[in-house]
Structure 1
Amino acid sequence: MKPVDWSEVREPTIPEFISVSRETEERLAIYADLVRKWQSSINLISPKTLPDLWTRHVLDSLQLFALRREPAIWLDMGSGAGFPGLVTAICLAEAGEGWVHLVESNNKKAAFLRQAISKTGARASVMPVRIDAAVESLPDIEAVSARALAPLADLLSHSAPFAARNPAIELWLHKGLDYAEEVRSARDLWAFDLVEHKSHFQDGSVILEIGNLKKSN
């Protein structure tokens, strides 16, 4: 089979309900191209999802910006290839406000994230450490994101130190088909307000908007 020439790939149009500028769309296309180029040497995403990179990863992550457009100081946990944190940071570039702290302990993935920031002008920085090691060195975080990282209860545990400093913190967590069971399990340990936003691109998936996070009595 002839290898795909990714330089000839043209990204699909971004849906109107997300509504980003042409400049942001171009930045996202540069980012997507970088993911494809680095994928051959680093396993950034599941190889089987590479042909569907734009919808499966970029647009899925862009939903978060559509839901939470106001610039904020973000923590993106376990950033990996940058979904959704780097996508948010690219969207913030045009606004000139807000920031995303990308926490990724894998040094190779952290190197990719730095390259992507440099090429796209994203409003982000990379911390190549584990999440618990980042608590003391980050400023007050206003919003937290994570995608395909860990069970919900674990994500809430990672977020708790930041919530203790800022009770108004918002958590925006991408979850798949088994999210309802994860929510039930998490409520055994945590109390929180919850809004479920259904995914426009992944059947059965959601973005969980969580606030007022506290340890259960």
Structure 2
Amino acid sequence: MSEEPSADSEVDASVDPWNGDARLPAYFGDAWPAIERFHAFLVDQGELRGLLGPRELPRLWERHLLNSAAVVPFIPDEGVVVDVGSGAGLPGVVIAAMRPRAQVILVEPMERRVAWLLDVIERTELANVEVRRARAQELDGALEADVVTARAVASLDKLFRWCAPLVREGGALLAMKGARAADELAAAGKVMRSVGLSDGRVHEATTIAGTEPTRVVSAVRGRGTRVR
């Protein structure tokens, strides 16, 4: 188990302009205690354990936690959510905190990141999360999800191939992408259709006023309901 966050870590993180912003607990609501503990753990251990670069610490809230939260409105309250390439737990841990009735499975192949995720689960006391050490393409037939999420993992054509087998009929794949999301989706359209996904769309998702929108690419398995 890692040590409690140090006073020095709190000072280092004070340059983040979002620290202490009253809109954060209001936005996260019931998920706030777990999110706040997750943030503190990232500040204290994220750089030390090779999960975040030093330049990311002053922008954890907007660039990482709020960015991850932007995908949550596209996820149902209940069901199975598989976060592929979960890494530091973004967005998987945020999803678990904000969707407490969902079962969230964090898929991560690297041993040291798996150890981190297990520590995060213990630290945040989230009861609806489990970790699988694997690559997405190794879980075909072993997992079936209502939603598969991915953030900063791979290009869309690769994600479609790796993740489509994990999505149940009518379920959705949600990939968090950058400014060229629409171009990437257009280029991967043929692959998307070949693996049984359809209705590819790019959504601009917002969280708190003043933050940059997050681009979420959605695709549905089979003839499922459109992602809102």
TM-score (norm 2): 0.80
| Contact 2:82/2:105 (8 A) holds in 1 | yes
Cα distance per residue 1:104-143 (max 9 Å; x no partner)? 11111111111111111222111111112223332x2110
Q: Distance in 2 between matches of 1:81 and 1:12?
A: 23
More displaced, 118-127 or 67-76? Answer: 67-76
Cα distance per residue 1:49-77 (max 9 Å; x no partner)? 22100111001111112333422201100
Given the alignment, which residue of 138, 143, 168 partners 1:133?
138
Partner of 2:218: 209
Cα distance per residue 1:116-175 (max 9 Å; x no partner)? 11111222111111112223332x211010000100111111122123xx2211111100
More displaced, 170-179 or 42-51? Answer: 42-51
| Contact 2:79/2:146 (8 A) holds in 1 | yes
Partner of 1:193: 199
Partner of 1:20: 28
Q: Distance in 2 between matches of 1:196 and 1:88?
A: 20
| Contact 1:197/1:206 (8 A) holds in 2 | yes
| Contact 2:137/2:163 (8 A) holds in 1 | no
Point out where structure 2 has 5 or more consecutive residues left out of the alignment: 1-6, 224-228
Partner of 1:6: 9
TM-score (norm 1): 0.83
| Contact 2:164/2:173 (8 A) holds in 1 | no
Amino acid across the alignment from 1:5: D
| Contact 2:160/2:191 (8 A) holds in 1 | no
Task: Give runs of aligned pairs for residues 114-153 of structure 1, distance below 5 A.
Answer: 114-122=118-126, 123-138=128-143, 140-153=144-157
Task: Give runs of aligned pairs for residues 1-217 of structure 1, distance below 5 A.
Answer: 5-7=8-10, 9=14, 10-14=19-23, 19-21=27-29, 23-93=30-100, 97-122=101-126, 123-138=128-143, 140-163=144-167, 166-191=168-193, 192-200=198-206, 201-202=211-212, 205-212=214-221
- The number of residues matched between the two structures is 203
Amino acid across the alignment from 1:57: H
Amino acid across the alignment from 2:217: L
- The RMSD of aligned alpha carbons is 2.4
Cα distance per residue 1:165-190 (max 9 Å; x no partner)? x2211111100012122111111322
Pick closer, same or farther for the CA change 1:135–1:13 going to 2, 3 Å.
Answer: farther
Moved over 6 A (4+): none
SS of 1:195 mapped into structure 2: strand
